[in-house]
Structures are given as C-alpha cells and as structure tokens.
Amino acid sequence: MNALQRLCKQLGLNFTDQALLREALSHRSYGTPNYERLEYLGDSLLNFVIADELHRAHSDLDEGDLSRLRASLVRGSTLAEIAREYQLGDFLLMGSGELKSGGFDRDSILADVVESIIGATLRDAGFEAARALVVRLYSKRLVNLPSAETLKDSKTRLQEFLQGDGHALPVYNVIEKTGQDHNLSFTVECVVKAQNQRTTATATSRRKAEQTAAQTMLERLSS
C-alpha cells in the first residue's frame, strides 16, 4: 500500500483522481500545482457544513452563539489538532527548505491541508462525500461542544453579568499610552461604579487591554 492509499484508508476516502489528492498535499514550496486553490474551496465548504450541523442540532442557540461555536471549531488551532490526530504531516509534500525548518508540523500548514483535502474530496467525489468527511473529522467535537458562554469575550460577559443584576454598563478609559506606531503600549482602566470597583491592564492594543481589565473585573465581582 503506498502513502496515498494509506492516507485514504485513514480518512475513509476512495480517491478516484490521485493527482488531485497529491495537489491537496502539496505545499507551495513543492511547486505548482499546490494546495492553495483547494484550500480556498475546502475552507468555504467546511464553514458551511459546520454552520449547518450546528443550526440543526441547536435550535436553542441564537446566531451569535452559533457563530462563536463555529469560529471555535474552524479556527486554525482546531484544524491543526485534527491534522495531528490523522498524522497528516506525514503525507505533506514540501520543498526541502520548508521540510528542514519543520513545516510538516507547523499549525498553519496542517490547518491548510485539512481544508485542501476537504476541497479535493468535493471535486473528486461530490458534495455528500465531502460533507460526510467533515462530519467524520469533527464527530467528537460536534458532540462535545464548549459552552457558548465560555466563548464570549470578557467584555461581553462582564456586560451581561452587570445587566443581569440591573447595573449600569462598565466604563473603559485609556489612562496611559506609551511608545510609537509598531511599539505601542496601552494601559486601560475598567470602572464599575455601582460596586465601586476599578481594574487596570496593559497590553499592545487598546482592545486587548480592555479585555484583560474586563476579565479581572469579572473574576473580582464573581468571587
């Protein structure tokens, strides 16, 4: 059994067009054709199938929760985990420079190749086969979903926490900004007047600093 046959067996696929599967496994450092067009295709199919599965299984969730759940399932780190479960790195075709620098185990490349294999399956065997592959790759994760609540960012959770208690919204102020252009540092305060509480955080962007300050505030108010 050659490598491609072994991969097909692992993924439960029957590939008619072996050249297409090779294309899906070829990093751009390996030449042309490579996986980039198939990745574009597989990415959109993956997003749709996961959206569809979540929509059908969770009629209790609103579109915000559904979007956050989908984002957690299709983000690069989750795709890289899936690629490792199926040892996809062993089947990558790449240039020697990329190989030596460890490209076969790089999250971004592993994530790409999950999507390109999904895209190649669509082209080779049609929509139902590609949908079935996505459902197979995600079988555990579609059942053991994270709670929609934990996927909300800290500012959203703090706001909902305070509104639930009938309190006014928190206020965020930048209290210090240092550095220039690509080296900025923001210190932000989060103030909850009703409870007379104030937290601060420093980060490389205003948004990040606000999230951290909100997280600290949430921990303080919940304890």
Query: Do 188 and 213 meet the contact criterion of CB atoms below 8 Å apart?
Result: yes
Considering only the stretches 10-18, 55-63, 151-159, 212-220, report the one whose residues sit in contact with a second copy under the rule CB under 8 A: 55-63
User: Residue from 4, 10, 29, 66 that binds a second copy (CB under 8 A)?
Assistant: 66
DSSP run (H or E) holding 10:
helix 3-11
The strands making up 197-203's β-sheet, listed across from edge to edge, are 171-178, 185-192, 197-203
Burial of 186 (0-12, 13-18, 19+ CB in 10 A): buried
DSSP run (H or E) holding 176:
strand 171-178
DSSP 78-132: HHHHHHHHTTGGGG-B--HHHHHTTGGG-HHHHHHHHHHHHHHHHHHH-HHHHHH
| Residues with a known catalytic role | 43, 115
219's CB contacts (< 8 A; 6+ apart) are none
User: Residue from 10, 29, 67, 187 that binds a second copy (CB under 8 A)?
Assistant: 67
Question: Least distance in Å: CB of 136 to a second copy?
Answer: 18
36 is an interface residue for a second copy by CB under 8 A: yes
107 is an interface residue for a second copy by CB under 8 A: no
Question: Least distance in Å: CB of 68 to a second copy?
Answer: 11
Closest to a second copy by CB, 43 or 98: 43
Closest to a second copy by CB, 38 or 218: 38
114 is an interface residue for a second copy by CB under 8 A: no
Question: Least distance in Å: CB of 143 to a second copy?
Answer: 20
55 is an interface residue for a second copy by CB under 8 A: yes
User: Residue from 4, 8, 10, 52 that binds a second copy (CB under 8 A)?
Assistant: 52
End-to-end CA distance of the chain: 59
Please name the amino acid found at residue 218.
Answer: L
User: Residue from 1, 2, 16, 63 that binds a second copy (CB under 8 A)?
Assistant: 63
Can you give the binding site for a second copy, defined by CB under 8 A? Answer: 36-37, 39-41, 43-45, 47-48, 51-52, 55, 62-63, 66-67, 70, 119, 122, 127
